[in-house]
Structure 1
């Protein structure tokens, strides 16, 4: 068994020698350490691994047995990888290995395996990474009655973007917010992802859902409608809200994609339905909001033409600010949700 440390704090008191009512307190600490030291130790070389959607990643994890060689115990070793959820109370099974017996769970089927570079290597390789793979993973090694764990985070290169649907701001409960992000080729963002986006300059004055059920928004330029102009920059926190009754916007996260995002050159402007069909005729589909953000942020896509997107919005991405095209900042510019029957815009397509 592992070392057991008992820390006992004993407080006792007595009156002073002068008979006053004041009392003198003394603490006595007793340490008791189990004679058998730790046998099984699990370690990670780095606490965070960074990859991207469609890429591969190796989550490091190694173990050693202090009194017995690892080789002699390898047939008894059980290695288990789980993913920690945002509420930290639940774990999702990913991979279990014991000798020649291995089991892979859920969406990880066919995409994970142990690196196995040495007898004490429990590192997990994840291939064809998805947006949902983002998060914290626990490596647990068990040998007999002994076990130890370590945690590794898988971070993804990508971008956080705010989103609200066609019917207006503050109209999504938590579950609708999750679906809205999925519909735009994204996932609902975590606090860490929003915080990193804030540090990179994201400023947005409307509160949105995050993956842990909290509602927050990032402010880099304090002003009166956004918490007050005399407040400090930061991520404003509304706290945890009712996931069914609460109504807010949402912050989504997306990463690299395997495909081509482009503005369709077309002789005339299009209605929304005509835009959808024009992309289909070109062997593609109308692009999603997340795909535009990914192309803009990760590929430097730049186009000064407003175009329809799948959610019925019209936007355009500017990587090189210039007159009449987002003159002050690089950004994905939002035109709005026009009447879908108006032939006023082009269209952005995505070809997988």
Structure 2
């Protein structure tokens, strides 16, 4: 007969043979911290997107098992574009980032991403993700450029660009399709434009500082008028482009006292003869906004338009505001205008 004492002793013996319980904490052992949510630089400059690890060293796996990944978020946040992946000594850069990005690695907890020769298309939000064993942590940093937003429509006239045409149009003018933040900052600076244009997230908007009938109504408030997301293939609007500093010289071709007027072809050839290229619309806007370029002479640009930049408003030039004045797309055979040239620096 098994006594109660025997049962007790058997229970104690079995208990001694069981493994000790393991308690798992819900607290993360790893976090990443971006010391600033936004980094601002200029085209051609350098930038460091901060990302530091904050981890429990006793529980962290560390070493070659830790994986650092930087991705760029698409404007509508629907996908991620690989920028850099690092695991121990193994590192890989992707797409147009190869040779232009690297990890700062000032210490074992530094996962910051360093950019060199920043491009217009680099603007956007970047995600820093660190995986260490079972721990995974992320943070997001925005990279922005100083620059200028400008409206653009082609020779065909108002509302002739689908989204893909708009992208190409901006690129041809030394710019990219502007994002919402860039248009919003331009609006805060007084930008007022009544034609709707594409932004890089596929939405169509326009900035109004002075409400009026044709632009949303007299009784509306100032702000960005938003048409929402539109069909990128079928819908047609203008576009808001964004450009930044350039490495080069923008100038009006002036042959001494001989104020030569050109046809379009003659203008392009005159710039080439001067060791330059006929300037693009984005280059004129950048020179005007960022360098204070001021010239009261209408001149040809690469897209066949005629414009002139005024930083100091005055009678007969631009009496009420600083602006890039638009003459239009005249017949290219008319010998009525000068020319603006651009000489790129290496």
Query: TM-score if structure 1 supplies the norm length?
Result: 0.89
Q: Which residue of 2 aligns with 1:29?
A: none
How many Å apart are 1:323 and its aligned residue? Answer: 1.3
Q: Which residue of 1 aligns with 2:35?
A: 45
Structure-to-structure mapping, 1:84-163, within 5 angstroms: 84-163=73-152
2:248/2:343 contact within 8 Å kept:
yes
1:74/1:119 contact within 8 Å kept:
no
CA distance in 2, matches of 1:178, 1:257: 20
2:148/2:243 contact within 8 Å kept:
yes
Residues 37 and 273 (structure 1), Cα distance of their counterparts in 2 relative to 1, 3 Å cut: same
Q: Which residue of 1 aligns with 2:316?
A: 324
How many Å apart are 1:87 and its aligned residue? Answer: 1.7
Q: Which residue of 2 aligns with 1:222?
A: 211
How many Å apart are 1:322 and its aligned residue? Answer: 1.1
Q: Which residue of 2 aligns with 1:64?
A: 54
2:29/2:59 contact within 8 Å kept:
no
Q: Which residue of 2 aligns with 1:274?
A: 266
Bigger strand fraction: 1
How many Å apart are 1:138 and its aligned residue? Answer: 0.2
Q: Which residue of 2 aligns with 1:336?
A: 328
Structure-to-structure mapping, 1:247-266, within 5 angstroms: 247-266=236-255
Q: Secondary structure at the match of 2:40?
A: strand
Q: Secondary structure at the match of 1:80?
A: strand
Structure 1, residues 205-236: CA drift from partner, whole Å, max 9, x if none?
00001101111100001111111111110100
Greater Rg over alpha carbons, structure? 2
Q: Which residue of 1 aligns with 2:13?
A: none
Structure 1, unmatched stretches of 5+, are: 1-32
The match for 1:315 among 276, 295, 307 is 307
How many Å apart are 1:237 and its aligned residue? Answer: 0.6
Structure 1, residues 131-166: CA drift from partner, whole Å, max 9, x if none?
000000000001111110000000110000000001
- Mapped pair 1:200 → 2:192: no
CA distance in 1, matches of 2:132, 2:59: 13
CA distance in 1, matches of 2:144, 2:245: 13
How many Å apart are 1:64 and its aligned residue? Answer: 2.1
Structure 1, residues 304-325: CA drift from partner, whole Å, max 9, x if none?
1000000110000011111111
Structure 1, residues 68-96: CA drift from partner, whole Å, max 9, x if none?
277x7233211100000012120000001
1:222/1:231 contact within 8 Å kept:
yes
1:40/1:65 contact within 8 Å kept:
yes
CA distance in 2, matches of 1:223, 1:73: 61
CA distance in 1, matches of 2:247, 2:263: 28
Structure 1, residues 267-312: CA drift from partner, whole Å, max 9, x if none?
3200000000000000100000000000001111010100000011
Q: Which residue of 1 aligns with 2:166?
A: 177
CA distance in 2, matches of 1:79, 1:339: 56
- Mapped pair 1:349 → 2:341: yes
Q: Secondary structure at the match of 1:262?
A: strand
CA distance in 2, matches of 1:88, 1:54: 26
Query: TM-score if structure 2 supplies the norm length?
Result: 0.90
Q: Secondary structure at the match of 2:151?
A: strand
Structure 2, unmatched stretches of 5+, are: 1-22
The match for 1:191 among 159, 166, 180 is 180
Q: Which residue of 2 aligns with 1:22?
A: none
Structure 1, residues 146-188: CA drift from partner, whole Å, max 9, x if none?
1100000001100000000011110000100000000000000
Q: Which residue of 2 aligns with 1:13?
A: none
